[in-house]
Chain A
Amino acid sequence: MAHSSRGSAKAIPWFLFAAGGTVTAFVLPVMLIVTNLGFFPSAMSYEGMSGFLSWWIVKLAVLGILTLGLWHAAHRLRVCAHDFGIRADELVAWIVYSAAGFGSVAAAVALLMI
């Protein structure tokens, strides 16, 4: 690694990737169990979920998890594409990062509608 007093232009994307990896590592397994396996019918009911998501702090937390998770997955999918022999990196990067950005904005819009 080159040492530079100006720091790296990759610092912010790298920080987002690392933050996404950490947040998803802590919350995704338990979230998947709660949302997708039907063990918590009352929490997953319309009343339960809309009540939970009426809290602003919860909306912010959910937006944070989704944005960081999307960014983390986008970055890893880009690396995956390379590792599976797809060498059109610029195009792949454009697609995955745009999708992550679109998903984050969509999440914010949906949360505002709830």
Chain B
Amino acid sequence: MSAATTDTANPRKPYVRPISKTSWFLTSARYKSYMVHEVSSIFVALYMIQLVAGLFYLAAGPEEWESYLAFLRSPVVILLTLVGLVFFVIHTTSWFKAVPQATRIMRGEEVLPGKILVTAHYGIWAAVSLFVIILAWVA
């Protein structure tokens, strides 16, 4: 923001509380939890790259696919996967938490209570997860 530059030109020299541009979010629990779900995007991006690369390895043939699977078994990838899983679940729960603020469903004259919306999202999440697990299990 341009506040800092205009303040230096201000002859009244008002007090400007110093705020770090790089660590401001450490000052409150709300900011910290905001940053944790924003940082989840780093893991989403990494996983998307891994999956796009995987498609190319699959297209290349069985041997290439085998080397991709070996890469997935490497300790660094396993570690990133476990950390990423935590961030993915944080992304999911924080996203669901914000659903009532983002979605308003009218039922006649009343707004559908946010709690119902959030519960429905958790229900769908469980169903989708179970469906994917079953799909992978029978394959």
Contacts and interface: CB of A to CB of B under 8 A. Distances in A.
Interface in B38-54: 38-42, 44-45, 47-49, 51-52, 54
A77 B42 contact: yes
B51 A34 contact: no
Given A30-B132, A35-B51, A52-B139, A24 B44 contact: yes
A68 to B, nearest CB: 10
B85 A32 contact: yes
Interface in B57-71: 58-59, 62, 65-66, 69
Contacts of B65: 46, 49-50
Contact of A28 (B20, B21, B25, B91): B91
B102 interface: yes
Interface string B69-94: 10011000110010011001101100
Contact of B45 (A27, A44, A70, A111): A70
The residue among B62, B121, B129 with the most chain A CB atoms within 10 A of its own CB is: B129
A106 B10 CA distance: 52
A22 B95 contact: yes
B84 A44 contact: no
Contacts of A22: 95
Given A31-B132, A46-B65, 15 more contacts: A21-B91, A25-B92, A28-B91, A30-B132, A32-B47, A34-B133, A35-B72, A36-B81, A40-B139, A44-B69, A46-B66, A76-B40, A103-B48, A106-B56, A113-B56
Interface of B: 20-22, 25, 35, 38-42, 44-45, 47-49, 51-52, 54-56, 58-59, 62, 65-66, 69, 72-73, 77-78, 81, 84-85, 88-89, 91-92, 95-96, 102, 121, 124-125, 128-129, 132-133, 135-137, 139
24 contacts: A24-B44, A25-B96, A28-B47, A33-B85, A33-B133, A34-B136, A35-B51, A37-B81, A40-B139, A43-B135, A43-B136, A44-B69, A46-B62, A48-B139, A69-B47, A72-B41, A73-B42, A73-B45, A85-B21, A103-B49, A110-B56, A114-B55, A114-B58, A114-B59
